[in-house]
Structure 1
Amino acid sequence: MIDIIINWALVIILFYIAIEYFSFFILQKQKEYLYLFIVTFIVSTHLYFTQISKFEYSIIFIGLQPIFLNILLIKLIRFNQKKEKNIILIVTLLSCIAFFLTFLIFYSKNFYHKNIKIYNYSLAFLSQLIIFGSMFIERIKNKKFSYLDIYIVIGYLSVSIQNITHVLDKNYFIIIVSYAAKIILIANLITNILSNYKKTIKILNENIELNTTLEQKVQLRTADLEKANLQLQEENQKRIDFFINLSHETKTPLTLINNYLARYSKKVNPSEELEVIKQNINILYKNVMNFMDAERLSKDNANLNNNEVFLFSEMLQQKVILFKGIAEKKKIKIMTAIEPKIFLRADHLAIDKVVNNLLENAIKYTNENGNIQVSFSSSGENIILSVRDTGIGIPDDLKNKIFEPYYQITREKHNYQGLGMGLFITKKIIDDIGGTINVESKINEGTVFEVTFKKYIPSENDEVKNFVSYTVPVDEIQKVVLEEKKISSDKSNILLVEDNLYMLKELQMILMDKYNIYLAVNGKEAVERLLYIPEPDLIISDIMMDIMDGYEFYDVLSKNDKFVGTPFIFLSAMDCSYNKIKGLSMGAVDYITKPFSFDELQLKIESILKNNVKRKETVLKKISEYIYKSNDVENFNQKFERIYKEKFDYFDLTEKQKKILFLLIKGKDIKGISTELDISFNTARNNISELYKKTEKTRNEIVALFMG
């Protein structure tokens, strides 16, 4: 009876500990607890089936009981699991070995060995010895023992006593000792359960506290983010309101200036300067109106009257006529295929802006000699407007961005004017009417915008509105005649590179009285021009240009020794520290942002050229000192002839070019050479350029060869 009570107590306690280990594994996600659970569960299950069925072959599990004690006592001795993970894993593996040994016991009992009791006891004892030894490997190495180690000895004694009772005749003294060992074991297990219970409660409390703290932190952080987001929205709204008010205030002076110019132009003969002013005012006015439209549409506050009925076909015909004049300036041909008598129910002023934006973009982004096709027809219940161009195209990854506010259909090197609001306004208007807009494009082949509306057939009660285009297209095509003025040999040479023709023309007009001005509209054209014009004393270049931008242009020049020492100024609308640092670090002497003062630019140019002249004079002085240091011109002439034969004879220079080479080494400039040889300035300049081409050397390199 006592044996049954003790064994049932062990079963219950072991089941509880197995569940406890499993809960630790769930909470802490440590695989060591899973090992403990597996072994404990196997042993407790074995004891349970032994109690209810008196399982005849329970000897199979004899080796598992010491394994359980081993694992349990590791816990009782309070091993630091972070350092003893390998021990727990080894013990779990040894349980498999013990099971295998006890299986041999069972197998031999039925088939092989006659002296079964001795053989069974030997194998069971061997399995316990293996586990007992593994338990103390680390303890023997570290020489650390605890008073709780006695529990291990007691536990193994109890198991050994149990094994003895299986193979020997029953002895009451041995049975009493076995019961005593089991009672001690139960007491230790209960102590372990209480300890683990406290630990479990502590872990649960820590988890609850941690979750509560995290939740509070998340709530506080969320509140902070919502507050910051609200502040950003308020600040953004203030900025938007400010710019809207600024746009309103700008409309009045722009209107007054435009009207004054119109009246003044009637009184006097219109000049080129007045036309430039008028055109740029129109562009500014258009940008102001676009900004205001974009803000109203983004707030759904456009107040469109979409109940108006008008003849859409007639509107398109009139708009195309207006835009053809602008397109012809770029030699762009506009072709039409417009189906007549198609009506639309929508705000006619809003649709007027849609057509304007589509045609303006088509002209803006189509190169000279390109084509634009405007098609308009009905298809079932819909009407379709298509605008196809042969322009620069739109990359696939940017097609979804072109309808965003302030985004321009452009590539990095292009410098197209505008705020990038046209397509945003276009899409918002089309969406408000219930239509759709789609875009298809291929790089360098062209773009197609297709707009679809619902067809409308007017009834007798509808008032068909006569279309009047209140928005005249703004001519943004820069048609400026650039003429390089007469060259003077006593002036410094400046190369201007700028793709805005009005700006280029204005810079030329301001600087031409003091300097020889040469013009180019992009970096590629500037490189080509440098082959034929005199070596510039200064280069002024914009950055954002088509084909070759300012940075690329400077990079090309820096690889040509002929222009290494030529001062370079960047002009740009990009007013940010990154671009300034990039330009100056490349070697430019200055970086000037637009808008700028022309007077300030002139002073900077004058200062740079003076310093450049001083630098050249210093070099020429050193050359003269070298040539005449021995006061023997004849020796210099002889040295020139000798070096010429060694270094230059195979270049096949003409006699005139040989004389020019001699004068260049002596420090003469183009004007001095033309006077010395009695030839024109242009002849001297052309011969010098040809000399540099043949020798593939700059003046500094030629002088260095002679002085070397």
Structure 2
Amino acid sequence: MYNITGGLLPDENLPGSFFLQNVIAYATGFITPCFFPYYVHKAFALEKMRFHAFKGVYLFLILPYFLFVVVFAITEKLEDAKDLLALPVVYALWVIISMIKAIRYKYKKDFSSRESKEEMTVLLISLTPWVMLPVIDFFNMGQGTEACITNIGFLSLFALQMKRHIHEMRAEHNRLVESQKELQNWNSNLTNEVTKRTKELEIINQQRTNTLVNLAHETKTPLTLINNYLEEYIQKTTPSEELNIVKRNINKLSSDIVNLFDIEKFNKGFAVYNHNQLCNFSDILKDSMALFEKYAIDLEIKIEVSIHQGIIIQADPLSINRIINNLIENAMKFSEANDTIEIALSKNDDGDIQFIVSDRGIGIPLNMQAKIFEPYYQLNSQKANTQGMGLGLPIVKKVVEELNGKIYINSNPQKARGTKIKISLKAYKNTNSEPLNAAIVKAPSIQLPLLTPTDKVVDKERFTVLVIEDNIAMINYLTNKLSEKYNVLVAMNGSDGLRKLKEVKVVPDLIVTDIMMDKIDGYEFAKIISKSEQFAHIPIIFLSAKAALKDKLQGLKLGAIDYVPKPFSIAEFLYKVDSILTYAGKQKRSILNMTFDRVSSNGTSHQKIQVSSFELNCDLYNLTARERDIAKLICQGQKYKDIGGALFIAERTVTKHAQNIFEKLQVSNKIELINKLEYSQTA
């Protein structure tokens, strides 16, 4: 733009007046120098040029130009207007000096370096003509001279910028190359470190696995001896419930050890079974059913069996027996009284064996059907007395895979109860001349449900102990031991324990509770009763398999008088109970004596302290804040619709909360609900 206007204007042959052409020509001559302070400030990082880039050019170039136009328009004499160029000329010298100072400031100690000298020289050569445009115009040095000088300066500036740009590109390229080399070295080192660490972890894992397998292997021998000697002892003596409990738990421990040992052998790729044998699947299942039907009668479960005869398979008979036992045991574990289990063995037209076990139990959610074949995975997240280590189905899957078979699960608890498991195996066809191994039947390890313990209140003068434990065998054991000297109240979990405290007429003198339980655990139970004025004084002993220091500290922090880790000595435990209750008795007598003495001395009558019945009962039945609000309005006789309006919730939400309240309090109508929440004993 500058070269065109400065080279052509003014020209009488072009359109426009002499005044307008000069105004345009001088405009480009002024505007172009205005850009260069900003350019060097940004392109060459000259911070000291900031004033000229954003303020100086407007004050000393743009403003004089407007004055130039005004004077030229008034006088119509270009020479008179040129006198105003004196101010831009002085400003041009100021800009050059400022640029030198800016370069000095930029390089500071390295001002004498080649780079700084080169930059200063080229910038002076390049920018001086542009900044000195007003000088050239003022002295009428001619448009040709002006154009040559300014364009040479521009080309010099462009060459410097291109050189710097190329230098920066090369430096960036070298940095990228170096970074790539460093990254490659880092990746190589990281790969080596990961490989090294992986090998170390594999060795550690292998050592742990070997230790576990060796432990399981070494445990099998003493368990076998214990089991055999116990069997002989039981045959020689009169059967008792205690011996049956010992026998049952030894059998469970033996089964868990065998499963643990076998799953590790499977994972290591060791052969567990010899499948180069032929066996009669039908006979193995038939012989096994004789044992399962006996257990089914005790569990009040009905079994429907359909067995096609003469189904031969090439497999280890022990592996077939294991498939049968695991599937039927699981079906019986998750079935309830009066349920029906269907068992079918058949062979389809393709010659495949179909073994199907169906039950009416809780079912297996779709998202868990793949996980149940993972070792140690528990289907039921809650604790259960019949729950094992989660190794049965993983072993079944391993055996089925060894036999090139498939296993299918059909279950959807959201639609209907029950689970159907089907195993498909290849039948053996050429059986005419092949000898068959006898069917080896191993007794299933089903544990018959123990009788639920009941309260044992013998003498009201005795101390009373509330035992809360969800393992039936353990609570039976503790009840039998404690009932020799104390009254015993039993509860299967924290929620049951709170209900027991509310319903019994005698306040317990001691509470013995497990920690890991369904619904309300031991810690939560302790927190709830600690807020009750009626029960906060009762000493608590925690019994738990959680033996870490933080667990003990948490229990003691909640106010427990003792924390006993399992396994424990029953003799030591009974001594602790006796010591605590004896001390509690002395303390009660002392308090009573002091109270009577004080009453006698003051001549005042004993007054009963009324307890906030509703809030206390809500705590005992573990009602939530929302459930308390709804229960309070129900007790006031309001309808569900009115309650919803008062609490700004839907009527069906109120109905759902009310159902939960009725279930927690075990009542069937509003009258029973009011009686349980509005009334309590006085303290």
Query: With structure 2 as the length reference, what TM-score do the two structures score?
Result: 0.69
- Which residue is equivalent to 2:40? 73
- Which residue is equivalent to 2:130? 156
Conserved in 1, the CA contact under 8 Å of 2:509 and 2:538?
Answer: yes
- Which residue is equivalent to 2:153? 184
Conserved in 2, the CA contact under 8 Å of 1:413 and 1:548?
Answer: no
Structure 1 residue corresponding to 2:346, chosen from 341, 366, 377: 377
- Which residue is equivalent to 1:328? 297
The residue type paired with residue 179 of structure 2 is: L
How has the CA–CA distance of structure 1 residues 305 and 350 changed in structure 2, closer, same or farther, with 3 Å as cutoff?
A: same
Structure 2 residue corresponding to 1:593, chosen from 562, 565, 574: 565
Output the CA distance in 1 between the equivalents of 2:132 and 2:402: 89
Conserved in 2, the CA contact under 8 Å of 1:388 and 1:446?
Answer: no
Output the CA distance in 1 between the equivalents of 2:431 and 2:676: 82
Conserved in 2, the CA contact under 8 Å of 1:485 and 1:512?
Answer: yes
What's the CA shift for 1:294?
A: 0.3
The residue type paired with residue 422 of structure 2 is: V
In the alignment, is residue 513 of structure 1 matched against residue 484 of structure 2? yes
What's the CA shift for 1:265?
A: 2.4
Output the CA distance in 1 between the equivalents of 2:52 and 2:353: 81
Segment of structure 1 superposing worse, 297-306 or 583-592: 583-592
Structure 2 residue corresponding to 1:432, chosen from 402, 427, 433: 402
Q: Deviations along 1:604-647, whole A, 9 cap, x unmatched?
A: 212322332344234323421321113x4xxx4xx45xx68x98
Give the match's secondary structure for 1:178. Answer: helix
Q: Deviations along 1:574-603, whole A, 9 cap, x unmatched?
A: 334554444444433333221111122123
- Which residue is equivalent to 1:356? 325
The residue type paired with residue 176 of structure 1 is: T
Conserved in 2, the CA contact under 8 Å of 1:436 and 1:453?
Answer: yes
Q: Deviations along 1:70-125, whole A, 9 cap, x unmatched?
A: 775345543469x99x999x99xxxxxxxxxxxxxxxxxxxxxxxxxx9xxx9xxx
What's the CA shift for 1:555?
A: 5.1
Structure 2 residue corresponding to 1:420, chosen from 384, 390, 394: 390
What's the CA shift for 1:490?
A: 3.2
Conserved in 2, the CA contact under 8 Å of 1:435 and 1:451?
Answer: no
Segment of structure 1 superposing worse, 518-527 or 175-184: 518-527
The residue type paired with residue 696 of structure 1 is: S
What's the CA shift for 1:693?
A: 9.4
| Counterpart mapping for 1:646-661 below 5 A | none
Conserved in 2, the CA contact under 8 Å of 1:573 and 1:595?
Answer: yes
How has the CA–CA distance of structure 1 residues 501 and 399 changed in structure 2, closer, same or farther, with 3 Å as cutoff?
A: same
What's the CA shift for 1:185?
A: 3.1
Structure 1 residue corresponding to 2:311, chosen from 331, 342, 362: 342
Q: Deviations along 1:311-356, whole A, 9 cap, x unmatched?
A: 3233223323312322333323223344444333333211211221
Segment of structure 1 superposing worse, 65-74 or 384-393: 65-74
Give the match's secondary structure for 1:442. Answer: coil
Conserved in 2, the CA contact under 8 Å of 1:158 and 1:182?
Answer: no
Give the match's secondary structure for 2:373. Answer: coil
Output the CA distance in 2 between the equivalents of 1:617 and 1:429: 67
Conserved in 1, the CA contact under 8 Å of 2:469 and 2:517?
Answer: yes
The residue type paired with residue 332 of structure 2 is: I
Output the CA distance in 2 between the equivalents of 1:519 and 1:144: 91
Output the CA distance in 1 between the equivalents of 2:298 and 2:347: 32
| Counterpart mapping for 1:39-78 below 5 A | 73-74=40-41, 77-78=44-45
Output the CA distance in 2 between the equivalents of 1:582 and 1:556: 15
| Counterpart mapping for 1:250-269 below 5 A | 250-269=219-238
Structure 2 residue corresponding to 1:542, chosen from 514, 524, 529: 514
Give the RMSD, CA atoms, in angstroms. 4.6
The residue type paired with residue 452 of structure 1 is: I
Give the match's secondary structure for 2:488. Answer: strand
Conserved in 2, the CA contact under 8 Å of 1:293 and 1:302?
Answer: no
Output the CA distance in 1 between the equivalents of 2:221 and 2:573: 32
Output the CA distance in 2 between the equivalents of 1:145 and 1:462: 105
- Which residue is equivalent to 2:574? 602
Output the CA distance in 2 between the equivalents of 1:579 and 1:366: 35
Conserved in 2, the CA contact under 8 Å of 1:338 and 1:377?
Answer: yes
- Which residue is equivalent to 1:29? none
How has the CA–CA distance of structure 1 residues 547 and 473 changed in structure 2, closer, same or farther, with 3 Å as cutoff?
A: farther
- Which residue is equivalent to 2:641? none
What's the CA shift for 1:464?
A: 5.6
Output the CA distance in 2 between the equivalents of 1:313 and 1:87: 102
Segment of structure 1 superposing worse, 336-345 or 510-519: 336-345
- Which residue is equivalent to 1:656? none
Q: Deviations along 1:225-248, whole A, 9 cap, x unmatched?
A: 222221121111112111212222
The residue type paired with residue 536 of structure 2 is: V
| Counterpart mapping for 1:524-535 below 5 A | 524-530=495-501, 531-532=503-504, 534-535=506-507
How has the CA–CA distance of structure 1 residues 647 and 218 changed in structure 2, closer, same or farther, with 3 Å as cutoff?
A: closer
Give the match's secondary structure for 2:380. Answer: coil
Query: With structure 1 as the length reference, what TM-score do the two structures score?
Result: 0.66
Give the match's secondary structure for 2:512. Answer: strand
What's the CA shift for 1:223?
A: 2.1
The residue type paired with residue 603 of structure 1 is: Y
Gaps of 5+ in 2: 5-13, 15-23, 56-76, 82-87, 106-119, 612-674
In the alignment, is residue 217 of structure 1 matched against residue 186 of structure 2? yes
Structure 1 residue corresponding to 2:360, chosen from 370, 378, 390: 390
The residue type paired with residue 680 of structure 2 is: E
Give the match's secondary structure for 2:371. Answer: coil
In the alignment, is residue 696 of structure 1 matched against residue 680 of structure 2? yes
Structure 2 residue corresponding to 1:312, chosen from 278, 281, 289: 281
The residue type paired with residue 409 of structure 1 is: L
Output the CA distance in 1 between the equivalents of 2:364 and 2:133: 84
Give the match's secondary structure for 2:217. Answer: helix
Conserved in 1, the CA contact under 8 Å of 2:284 and 2:441?
Answer: no
Aligned length: 551
Gaps of 5+ in 1: 1-41, 47-55, 92-117, 123-128, 165-170, 649-690, 700-708
Q: Deviations along 1:165-201, whole A, 9 cap, x unmatched?
A: xxxxxx9943134223322333333333333333333
- Which residue is equivalent to 2:372? 402
| Counterpart mapping for 1:605-644 below 5 A | 605-630=577-602, 632=603, 636=604, 639=605
Output the CA distance in 2 between the equivalents of 1:590 and 1:242: 35
Conserved in 1, the CA contact under 8 Å of 2:482 and 2:488?
Answer: yes
Conserved in 2, the CA contact under 8 Å of 1:312 and 1:344?
Answer: yes
